[in-house]
Structure 1
Amino acid sequence: MKNSTKLFLSILLLMFLSPGIGQAMHIMEGFLPVKWSVIWMIASLPFIVIGFKKIHRIFKGDANQKVLIGLAGGFVFVLSALKIPSVTGSCSHPTGVGLGAILFGPTTMTVVGLIVLLFQSLLLAHGGLTTLGANTFSMAIVGPIISYSVFKLLKNKNGNTTFPVFLAAFLGDLMTYVVTAIQLSLAFPDSITGFVGSLGKFLSVFAVTQIPLAIVEGIITAIVYNLLAEYGKEGEIHIETIE
């Protein structure tokens, strides 16, 4: 337990030393039309249900896995709270979901991401309850699915996972914002060029801030994963994807 404590403190220090960036939001409260708020919540529900079942299995298992999923949740909360303004009604920020998706699978992180987004909307005024479905779908469903899939595809059998973890977190972050741009474009199509024109505008604005942030997230995620893997070799924790 002594080593586990050192690991936990080391990761917390790493996260809080990451640059804090401004005050902003996910897609903010009341910004989306009611129709789209309902659509994205309905689209998210199946993933949330499956995720709760996965978490129930985890909680019935090894106690160390409970600690690890708590750490993954803290990682998401801290990173996704570091924001800079990007598009009207939204923002750019790391997501942090890649680490948990690699460790526990994408649907587990759907629930973790939902809880984080709920707390942020209630306590930090980041995002909102009416846009919870849309924010969950982009950050806690699509992002983890991409991160998990990329890691599984590229995972090196000789144990060198640094680049796969980096790329998984990097692409998971970027795809979160591709989906956010799609959500905003569907809700607010350009008056002349429609959805396609609006999507191009949103993506171009997001790219300026999000690509550097995604690179930073990829690096931080790889560092944290390697720390966890080192402690896993010592038998303190068990690092293995479970889906």
Structure 2
Amino acid sequence: MSRIILHLKYKIQHKYRWFLAIGILSCYFIVTLAQPAYAMHIMEGFLPPQWAIFWWIVALPFFALGLRRLHYITTENPELKLLLGLAGAFTFVLSALKIPSVTGSCSHPTGTGLGAVLFGPLAMSVLGTLVLLFQALLLAHGGLTTLGANAFSMAIVGPIVAYWLYRLIIQTGKQRLAIFLAASIADLTTYVVTSVQLALAFPAATGGVMASFGKFASIFALTQVPLAISEGLLTVLVWNWLSNYGSQELEALQLIKQER
């Protein structure tokens, strides 16, 4: 009996040590990074009120549908709750890693591609929005008035792109390539959408919205392209770990594929 208990204890510790690491990293960022961030999450009070309200209205239906999706997932497969927590923590940690960009702003990974592949874009609309809420409250990263805009770009559009790009590429049988492109392109898409949001709110005096979009997009491309590639590679590494130690959960989600 004692051998069985020790074996089970070792198996649990071995299988879920990554979750512990994610939790420790999350606590670290909460404690050490609580400082104002002029970052792409759009910062508090930056958008004109009419645009802040508009993006809240656009984002809320996705959040409501996402709650229904999460309820279905946790009811039908309660054993996936821990994996849901991992997807949310992965998003939190990566999107809290800010590096200086241009004109006093910051760039960062988004981390939403993994969760979108695992659970679909609707589930990530909730997880990503909660991540943005916690970061706004605890890290001064983003804001409450701009939460709708940030959620639409990072928690809604990014995961939608990641999910459908993965579904398209996985048909070739190249799963790791599909994971890499889903995560990296979702990251870039988030910044393209954010550039559109800023351009709509602040059109250039000469050239209007298109000129303003070109300015914002080019600024963030300098740092975001290498970050997107790095995020794609990191997501593949996490996927490899899940394939080794979370195969039962991936089988439940029907996500284990064989490379050709």
TM-score by length of 2: 0.83
Aligned residues: 236
Q: Compared with structure 1, are the counterparts of its residues 197 and 65 closer, same or farther at alpha carbon in structure 2 (3 Å cutoff)?
A: same
Find out whether 1:215 has 2:223 as its counterpart: no
Answer whether contact 2:42 2:146 (CA < 8 A) is retained: yes
CA positional deviation for 1:181: 0.3
Q: Distance in 1 between matches of 2:164 and 2:92?
A: 22
CA positional deviation for 1:239: 5.4
Answer whether contact 2:22 2:93 (CA < 8 A) is retained: no
Find out whether 1:193 has 2:207 as its counterpart: yes
Q: Distance in 2 between matches of 1:5 and 1:40?
A: 43
Q: Distance in 2 between matches of 1:4 and 1:221?
A: 23
Question: What residue is the counterpart of 2:125 in the other structure?
Answer: 110
Q: Trace 1:1-243 onto structure 2 (pairs within 5 A).
A: 2-10=10-18, 13=21, 24=37, 25=39, 26-86=41-101, 90-156=105-171, 158=173, 160-233=174-247, 235=248, 238=251, 240=253
Instruction: Kindly provide the amino acid, as one letter, of the partner of residue 175 in structure 2.
Output: T
Secondary structure of residue in 2 paired with 1:27: coil
CA positional deviation for 1:141: 0.3
* Offset from partner CA, 1:76-129 (integer Å, 9 cap, x none): 000000012335585311000000000000010000011110011001100000
Q: Compared with structure 1, are the counterparts of its residues 224 and 11 closer, same or farther at alpha carbon in structure 2 (3 Å cutoff)?
A: farther
* Offset from partner CA, 1:123-156 (integer Å, 9 cap, x none): 1100000000000000000000000011000115
Answer whether contact 2:91 2:110 (CA < 8 A) is retained: yes
Q: Distance in 1 between matches of 2:68 and 2:113?
A: 20
Instruction: Kindly provide the amino acid, as one letter, of the partner of residue 52 in structure 2.
Output: S
Answer whether contact 2:44 2:144 (CA < 8 A) is retained: yes
Instruction: Kindly provide the amino acid, as one letter, of the partner of residue 39 in structure 1.
Output: F
Answer whether contact 1:103 1:239 (CA < 8 A) is retained: no
CA positional deviation for 1:229: 1.7
TM-score by length of 1: 0.89
Q: Compared with structure 1, are the counterparts of its residues 222 and 77 closer, same or farther at alpha carbon in structure 2 (3 Å cutoff)?
A: same
Structure 1 stretch displaced more, 31-40 or 220-229: 220-229
Instruction: Kindly provide the amino acid, as one letter, of the partner of residue 57 in structure 1.
Output: Y
Q: Compared with structure 1, are the counterparts of its residues 143 and 154 closer, same or farther at alpha carbon in structure 2 (3 Å cutoff)?
A: same
Q: Distance in 2 between matches of 1:81 and 1:14?
A: 13
Larger Rg: 2
Q: Distance in 2 between matches of 1:78 and 1:66?
A: 18
Structure 1 stretch displaced more, 89-98 or 112-121: 89-98
Q: Compared with structure 1, are the counterparts of its residues 72 and 5 closer, same or farther at alpha carbon in structure 2 (3 Å cutoff)?
A: farther
Secondary structure of residue in 1 paired with 2:189: helix
Secondary structure of residue in 2 paired with 1:189: coil
Q: Compared with structure 1, are the counterparts of its residues 219 and 184 closer, same or farther at alpha carbon in structure 2 (3 Å cutoff)?
A: same
Q: Distance in 2 between matches of 1:170 and 1:119?
A: 23
Q: Greater share of helix residues, 1 or 2? A: 2
Structure 1 stretch displaced more, 131-140 or 41-50: 41-50
Instruction: Kindly provide the amino acid, as one letter, of the partner of residue 9 in structure 1.
Output: R
Calculate percent identity across the aligned residue pairs. Answer: 54
* Offset from partner CA, 1:191-221 (integer Å, 9 cap, x none): 1111011111111111000001001100011
